[in-house]
Amino acid sequence: MPATDAATETSDNTSSLNVRLVPNVGLSSRCFVFEVIDRVLQPGVTYKVGRYSDRNTIPERISFKSKVVSRSHAELWVEDGKLHIKDIGSSSGTFLNRVRLSSPGNSSTAHEIKDGDLVQLGVDYQSGDEPMYRAVRIRVEVNRPSQPAYHRAAFQQLRQHWTVDQTTTSDIQECCICLYAIAPFQALFIAPCSHVFHFKCLRPIVLQNYPAFSCPLCRGYSDLEASVAVEVSDVMEALGLEDKKILSSSSSPPAPSPPSIIQEEEEPEEQIDASAIGERTQAIDMQTQSTGRTDGFLSATLVGSPTFEEILSASSGSA
């Protein structure tokens, strides 16, 4: 064997796999919803799959709180850089892509699991009316890379769809369920994968296995109860945007200082002689006391009308 082939085989045997187990949420039946399991499986380690128990809390165990899953149901392991599974004598069976691996109570041979395969543990009991009596349906993701660039591009396209001034018919999105246009004044549902639907059309799918949600377009799984505590600065950084306010303030020249205001000299107010006011008031009071009238102030300020004798004397003098 060449040295390069030997090195490749050694690296395959020692490479770990990033395995993500998500609920396979169906569109026609209720499913057993569990928290997403994200593990890095190391080669040479056998991971036990079975029913949850307080006594079995070892890291190499994957547990589910379902009554249809046996305590020792199946095994997972990594070999030659591939993920394998086998049933270890469960009563309700292990299914790979809807094919049962062995008969009840018997172990099966090893089967390879590829990215996107469906694994089912057990079958529904009593029609699966209660969640604990439902089969565990799993979609397996093996070394699936994250797609932050795709999600950013989808989000930017969604923003442009609502902000563009001139929109053509090719820019208008359609709901993939009813095939009618996405328009303003409609109740919409925007999935975490940025796909848009009419909420009226998607409501049965959203509420059927809530909070578990599987997008009808890309089959991406999402937890609708996941935390949404994200700051605005984090969104700007993730989208590669910069704050326009900060840029405008840094690029604009400094504002000129306001011109100095020349204070006009105020004209001095006319000073009133307090002594003159006092003498005038005293004279009015004395006149009021002598005449006994209460309108002394008015009589002192008003000019009296001339009498008839004064008019005759004035006319004779002028003649």
10-residue stretch averages of pLDDT, the chain, 319 residues long? 46 75 80 90 93 80 91 93 94 94 92 94 82 91 76 66 63 87 89 88 89 87 86 77 56 56 51 58 59 50 57 60
* Structure tokens, 281: 């008031």
**Nearest residue to 46 (alpha-carbon basis) of 92, 79, 4, 80:** 79
Burial of residue 146 (number of CB atoms within 10 Å: 0-12, 13-18, 19+): exposed
Instruction: Please report the pLDDT score of residue 87 as a whole number.
Output: 95
CATH code of the domain containing 200? 3.30.40.10
Instruction: Please report the pLDDT score of residue 209 as a whole number.
Output: 85
C-beta separation of 86 from 96 below 8 A:
no
**Residues composing the chain:** 319
Q: Based on the domain organization, do 216 and 125 belong to the same domain? A: no
CA–chain centroid gap for 21, Å, is: 25
Q: Based on the domain organization, do 239 and 213 belong to the same domain? A: yes
* Residue 238 forms part of a structural domain: yes
Q: CB within 8 A of 80, min separation 6: which ones? A: 9, 12, 13
* Residue 35 forms part of a structural domain: yes
41: amino acid identity, one letter: L
* Residue 180 forms part of a structural domain: yes
Degrees (nearest 5) of the Cα angle 29, 31, 36? 145
- Among 190, 225, 248, the domain boundary falls at 248
Q: Based on the domain organization, do 16 and 82 belong to the same domain? A: yes
Q: How many domains does the chain have?
A: 2
Domain that holds residue 26: 3-142
Q: Based on the domain organization, do 123 and 186 belong to the same domain? A: no
> pLDDT of 64-96, one tens digit each?
999 999 999 999 999 999 999 999 999 999 999
